[in-house]
Structure 1
Amino acid sequence: MPALIRRLTLGLALFLSLGAATVSADPRRDFAGQYQPLRRILADTRREGDSLRVYLRFADGSVLQRGNPLRLAAWTSYDAKRPLWRDTVRQVSRRMRRVRTATWVEFSLPASALQPGQVLSVTCDPPDSDDASEALWLSITKERLGRTFVLTDSLGDPLLRRYVRVQEPFLVDSYGPEKPLVVKRYDAGFQAALPPMANPGAQPVARTLPARDSVFFRAGQQLGLAQPGLYMLRVAEAPMGYGLLVVDQDFPELNTADELIQPLIYLTTSAERKKLTDAAEPKRAVDAFWLKVAGGNQTVARQLIRTYYERVRVANQLFTTHKAGWMTDRGMLYIALGAPEVVYRTATEERWVYRDTNSGGGTYTFRPKPSTFAPEHYELVRRPEYEMLWYAAVEQWRKGLTARSGR
């Protein structure tokens, strides 16, 4: 057993022998910082025998230079009052690797210290801080504890995302002997999220997804998938597959006229979008749409365009699962209302709070609906009372007020 694992195991045993009851935490911790991309810690894991290797990427690598230890804690749920155990990663400076402004860290934990349903938190905050926004919160699932591979780029760095671009080279880096891989492409024409007040039964849900074709790769072979779509990767002898979305080259950015028009579904009618699509120059038509919304003010129009499509880009980064992030329920609210002001999480739901009731404010509840393709997918609990809030938010956009208010 590697030395770090032995130290962590001893540390966990010592902590458990002292008792976790001495550590307290606010059960109403705020997770809103998880949806601020520049503050996020990205992560992935790989099972290695009796250990779980954790890969972290700090977008702001300077947080690791403040002299605080890299602290770990396991919780029964996001809203647990006390952790099951706490520990720190020893000699973290030796496990760090700087890449421009970001910093990579990797370490191992005893797999026996974690169980499905628990949550692992990682933070560099001072010991007396309980700011959930700055920490990484990693849901421990059966899939995570059992998956013996991690997707990496051509240089060997973990991708830390559930999508790759068309023909982007990547590898399936397995623990132990490399094994052959089967990749299946599925026919999945997913729709954008319905408004918050819509009847959820109005959106058809496919019970099964037909496979279009399969490709076999030899062990250790570099991959590159030529067609956009939803894929399932299955390593030989693995008990479950791994869902992966293949997207266009510019993703998460949007550049083509069609890509710019599609996310306008949250602000426009189908007739308006058809008019944009059928225009002789669709990109110019999109600019003209925003200029009209801005009342002819070019400065406001530019700000509206920047704000709207930046939210689309961030939604793609944060929420892409079996479909592009802007199409998901959380992506829809993120685009229309902006980042949530407060986020509460429990084992069974996630609540987004917006305080400005003039622009769609309120509390929106999401519940996890995991699947093989999307193990961390959430769906909005739709309610008729959201109708006025939603139309208030759309009106802010349609009158150009979102750009002027800064929200």
Structure 2
Amino acid sequence: MKTFFGFCLFLVSVIAFTGCSSSNKTMKKIPEAQVRSSERQVQPEPAEELSVIAIQSKYLLRDTTQTKVFLYVDAYKGKNIITPSEFISVFNLNYVIYSDYGTRERLGYGNVKLDTDNVRRIDNKIVISFDVKSPNRDYGVLLSEISQTGTLKKVLNDLTIRFKKQTTGDLYGIYTDASDEPLQRHYINTNQTFTLKKINGGKDQLHVFYYDHTFEAAGSPMNTAPKGVSKSLDVDSSFTISSDEPLKFTKEGLYNIFTDTTHSEGLGLLVVNERYPKVTRPELLLEPLLYVSTNTEINEIKKAENYKKTLDKYWLSLMNGNAPVAQQSIRSFYGRVEEANQLFTTYKEGWKTDKGMIYIVLGPPDKVQRSKDKEVWTYNQRGNAQNVNFTFNRRNNQFVDDHYELVRYAEYQPIWYPVVEAWRNGSIR
């Protein structure tokens, strides 16, 4: 199974820009130094390889003229996370702002001097922050390139920026006690202290709407039946908070935060249990199984008094009593669920999204092409087919601006079912 980091690399290094493509290639080992002795040649330890594995990004608007960009970088020296000083000494950062995907029109460009003021290590990531001058446009695409000195190795990241939007999500970042930089994700754990801040500071009153709602998981990729009319969500409660002050939400659910209640778009924040993105509760372990199980199997497990025992028995029966294979299959499946939660959580859990469903069953795509409102995932070979494409269209909503829905086709059936069967017989480990 490819790792979460490997998947991110595909997301950031194969973007379909006209005239701009990643030159990131399979990393080669740094040549070993030759140490000589008068008696014999001593073979040194292999040099640890430096590599940038993946980049994620977000932005916050200072005002209509300045934008602050944050890059969250997975960078390693061998198997160890690189230190900020090592990163600064080895890597370079350049950027270009394009008017849109697939165009050559440049709205701005520059290189960023990396130093201890703008490069930090937070948890397991290197976080880079820098300012760009906002062009006089409503929209643009920032292409950042991190390259390694003295090599051709580079990794790209694309970030769409709404320079004039000025919504709550564009102005406010979510900061925790452990971080001087805003979170890149849309979720926070219950009882975790956090603060909502603007780049320029200041204390404001914010309006919060709370929804105690359970969203449905993604439907089958072959289900082409027209969707019914979307149900409106009822607000369960509302209250006000202050920015730049410590906060703590104790109830799980969806919170939407506004600077002004007349605005249609807020800052959606999903509050989840303390173990998320891991899935550990027995009742939560059952839910993602709908992607590889029948309705009858799911209903039988639901009837059980002991979920955990019944789930173990279920996996063991799928593997014909082979306990080691069942254990490995469980680890692989719920590892994918955890990665989907890390990558794709929007206003609902990542595993419930269309992207999460495809990722869990089929794994990381081999290629991703992205445009303003669409992503296309390509799998070189899955099931009985080659070069399979899944198209996701961006769907605007009042909570987040990066939620996507799959374009469904009945023709996915001969691709989908063989992979599901591979999960059920233990072939995917």
TM superposition score normalised by structure 2: 0.78
Question: Which residue among 56, 77, 80 is the counterpart of 2:71?
Answer: 56
**Post-superposition offset of 1:313:** 0.4
Question: Which residue among 221, 228, 237 is the counterpart of 1:213?
Answer: 237
Match of 1:280 in 2: 305
* 1:140-151 aligned within 5 A: 140-141=161-162, 147-151=170-174
Match of 1:197 in 2: 222
SS in 1 for 2:90: coil
Match of 1:375 in 2: 401
SS in 2 for 1:370: coil
Aligned amino acid, residue 153 of structure 1: T
Match of 1:68 in 2: 91
Match of 1:11 in 2: none
Match of 1:45 in 2: 59
Looking at structure 1, the residues matched to 384 and 400 of structure 2 have their Cα atoms a distance apart, in angstroms, of 31
**Is the 2:208–2:258 contact (alpha carbons within 8 Å) kept by the matching residues of 1?**
yes
Question: Which residue among 186, 196, 201 is the counterpart of 1:162?
Answer: 186
Aligned amino acid, residue 135 of structure 1: L
Aligned amino acid, residue 68 of structure 2: R
Looking at structure 1, the residues matched to 206 and 172 of structure 2 have their Cα atoms a distance apart, in angstroms, of 11
Looking at structure 2, the residues matched to 282 and 79 of structure 1 have their Cα atoms a distance apart, in angstroms, of 50
**Is the 1:96–1:104 contact (alpha carbons within 8 Å) kept by the matching residues of 2?**
yes
Alpha-carbon spacing, 1:103–1:51, altered in 2? closer, same or farther (3 Å): same
Looking at structure 2, the residues matched to 360 and 151 of structure 1 have their Cα atoms a distance apart, in angstroms, of 43
Looking at structure 2, the residues matched to 219 and 295 of structure 1 have their Cα atoms a distance apart, in angstroms, of 56
Question: Which residue among 339, 350, 364 is the counterpart of 1:325?
Answer: 350
What's the C-alpha RMSD, in Å, of the aligned pairs?
2.9
More helix by share: 1
SS in 1 for 2:251: coil
Match of 1:223 in 2: 247
Alpha-carbon spacing, 1:88–1:217, altered in 2? closer, same or farther (3 Å): same
SS in 1 for 2:91: coil
Match of 1:234 in 2: 258
Match of 2:361 in 1: 336
Stretches of structure 2 that go unaligned for 5 or more consecutive residues are 1-16, 27-51, 76-80
Match of 1:180 in 2: 205
For residues 58-87 of structure 1, give each alpha carbon's deviation from its aligned partner in whole angstroms, at most 9, with x where no partner exists.
Answer: 232638346332111112334445754431
Alpha-carbon spacing, 1:256–1:311, altered in 2? closer, same or farther (3 Å): same
**Is the 1:52–1:145 contact (alpha carbons within 8 Å) kept by the matching residues of 2?**
no
Looking at structure 2, the residues matched to 149 and 99 of structure 1 have their Cα atoms a distance apart, in angstroms, of 19
**Is the 1:45–1:54 contact (alpha carbons within 8 Å) kept by the matching residues of 2?**
yes
Looking at structure 2, the residues matched to 105 and 257 of structure 1 have their Cα atoms a distance apart, in angstroms, of 39
More strand by share: 2
Match of 1:110 in 2: 133
Looking at structure 2, the residues matched to 213 and 390 of structure 1 have their Cα atoms a distance apart, in angstroms, of 41
Aligned amino acid, residue 53 of structure 2: R
Aligned amino acid, residue 234 of structure 2: P
Looking at structure 1, the residues matched to 164 and 347 of structure 2 have their Cα atoms a distance apart, in angstroms, of 16
**Post-superposition offset of 1:236:** 5.1
For residues 250-275 of structure 1, give each alpha carbon's deviation from its aligned partner in whole angstroms, at most 9, with x where no partner exists.
Answer: 11000111110000010112221121
For residues 5-61 of structure 1, give each alpha carbon's deviation from its aligned partner in whole angstroms, at most 9, with x where no partner exists.
Answer: xxxxxxxxxxxxxxxxxxx96567699x9xxxx933233322223311122322326
SS in 2 for 1:223: coil
Aligned amino acid, residue 210 of structure 1: D
Match of 1:18 in 2: none
Alpha-carbon spacing, 1:296–1:144, altered in 2? closer, same or farther (3 Å): farther
Looking at structure 2, the residues matched to 390 and 69 of structure 1 have their Cα atoms a distance apart, in angstroms, of 42
**Post-superposition offset of 1:216:** 1.6
* 1:226-305 aligned within 5 A: 226-235=250-259, 239=263, 240-305=265-330
Aligned amino acid, residue 97 of structure 2: A
Stretches of structure 1 that go unaligned for 5 or more consecutive residues are 1-23
**Post-superposition offset of 1:209:** 1.6
Alpha-carbon spacing, 1:124–1:214, altered in 2? closer, same or farther (3 Å): same
Match of 1:12 in 2: none
Match of 1:20 in 2: none
Alpha-carbon spacing, 1:346–1:55, altered in 2? closer, same or farther (3 Å): closer
Greater CA drift, 82-91 or 115-124: 82-91
Looking at structure 2, the residues matched to 28 and 42 of structure 1 have their Cα atoms a distance apart, in angstroms, of 17
Match of 2:144 in 1: 122
**Post-superposition offset of 1:347:** 2.7
**Is the 1:341–1:353 contact (alpha carbons within 8 Å) kept by the matching residues of 2?**
yes
**Post-superposition offset of 1:345:** 1.6
Aligned amino acid, residue 352 of structure 2: M
Aligned amino acid, residue 47 of structure 1: L
**Post-superposition offset of 1:130:** 8.7
Looking at structure 2, the residues matched to 372 and 391 of structure 1 have their Cα atoms a distance apart, in angstroms, of 35
How many residue pairs were aligned? 371
Looking at structure 2, the residues matched to 205 and 257 of structure 1 have their Cα atoms a distance apart, in angstroms, of 33
Looking at structure 1, the residues matched to 194 and 206 of structure 2 have their Cα atoms a distance apart, in angstroms, of 13
SS in 2 for 1:355: strand
